[in-house]
Amino acid sequence: MKHILVPIGSTENAKNILQYAIDFATEINAKVFVFRAYSSQTKAGTMINVDAIIERETNLYLRTMVNSCDTKKVAIKLISAKGSVADSAEAIDQELGIDLVIVGAKSNSIKEGLFLGRTAGSLVKQTNLAILAIPEGYIYAPVSRILMAFKSGVVKSKTALKPLQFITEKFKADVNLLLVKTPNYTAEDLILHKDLKALQNTLTVTENATTYQGVLEHIKSQNPDMLCVFRRKRGFFKKLWEKNTILKEEFYSNVPLLVLKGK
């Protein structure tokens, strides 16, 4: 894991997210790409190069944000791109190869009731990148206990588990698997992929209506400092991922949420 992408918004939590990413990158010797997308609507006949001005202001904002953090000699690059966050992130990944996106859970939203704002939500929904969503105000700490929740032990993508495997090995973290038997589960769902077996310290099997309900039932007893889920068409938060925002009443985590989705 060498390249970390950090989308930066204009919220008070932006500095905290960037500092988390820098602290995380320090532990794993990774480069940090601080990124902000911008858009402009230039009217016909406009003489001023509005895009150039906005790009310059965006880079200035990013530079100011980086200068406000303790960079700890981490290699940091600034990226500004015109377009949506999701499309820009995919383009950056194609050019540079991004191993992990670290983003604020609430992002730019001013709604207090949101857990995932539009930026984090769109990245989860519209890209194949691994996303680490950081709760508002969360201070970096080394990962020691991970709760991996899923409703099927089938893993078809060869790359989906790579971020989790790397974090587990690098931090010597314990991975507690939570297999949630939801209605209409199949016998195949109960068979763990060999890579999941290799990760597990413990395995808990529970029966619940949804994967999230299984998490709610067991997260206190497991006491993880990171929650990990798959982003699958029939997986965790199937209905929640249909939109770009997630309300706190629908889901909330007070620890970083690692969302895996294979390329």
Which value, in Å, is the radius of gyration of the alpha carbons in the chain? 19
Q: Using the predicted structure, report yes or no on whether residue 247 has a pLDDT greater than 60.
A: no
Side chain identity at 192, as an amino acid letter?
L
Across 65-79, 210-224, 240-254, least confident range: 240-254
Would the pLDDT of 107 be above 80?
no
Percentage, residues of the chain above pLDDT 90: 48
Q: What is the CATH number of domain 145-239?
A: 3.40.50.620
Determine the pLDDT at residue 11: 63
pLDDT at 40: 54
Domain with CATH 3.40.50.620 in the chain: 3-134, 145-239
What digits encode the pLDDT tens for the residues 77-101? Answer: 999 877 788 899 999 999 999 999 9
Helical (H) or strand (E) element with 170: helix 162-171
Ramachandran sector of residue 29 (left: φ over 0; alpha: ψ -120 to 50; beta: rest): left
Give the pLDDT band (50/70/90) at residue 253.
low
**Residues contacting 74, CB < 8 A, separation 6+:** 22, 25, 26, 30, 31, 32
**Above 90 in pLDDT, residue 10?**
no
Question: Cα dist. 159→37, 149, 165, 193, 262 in Å?
Answer: 27, 18, 10, 13, 5
pTM of structure: 0.84
Question: Would you place residue 106 in the very low, low, confident or very high pLDDT band (cuts 50, 70, 90)?
Answer: low
State how far the Cα of 129 lies from the Cα of 92, in Å rounded to an integer: 11
At 29 the pLDDT is 95
Distance CA(170)–CA(255), nearest Å, equals: 19
**Contact assessment for residue 245 and residue 118, using Cβ atoms and an 8 Å cutoff:** yes
Q: What is the pLDDT of residue 157?
A: 86
Q: Would you place residue 175 in the very low, low, confident or very high pLDDT band (cuts 50, 70, 90)?
A: very high
Q: What's the CA gap between 31 and 160, in Å, rounded?
A: 21
Q: Which residue has the tokens 């990990």?
A: 228
Residue 201 has a pLDDT of 95
- Give 109's pLDDT tier (boundaries 50, 70, 90): very low
């600034």: which residue's tokens?
Answer: 78
What distance in Å separates the CA atoms of residue 102 and residue 238, rounded to the nearest whole number? Answer: 22
pLDDT tens across 12-56, in order?
678 899 999 999 999 999 999 998 887 655 555 454 555 566 667
Per the rule left: phi > 0, alpha: psi between -120 and 50, beta: everything else, 107 is left
Tell whether the model's pLDDT for residue 237 goes beyond 80.
no
Q: Which residue has the higher pLDDT, 253 or 151?
A: 151
**In the predicted structure, residue 202 carries a pLDDT above the cut 70:** yes
Q: Is the distance from CB of 207 to CB of 178 less than 8 angstroms? A: no
Q: What is the mean pLDDT of the chain?
A: 82
CA dist 176 → 124, 145, 173, 205, 232 (Å): 23, 8, 10, 11, 20
CATH 3.30.450.20 given to domain 3-134: no
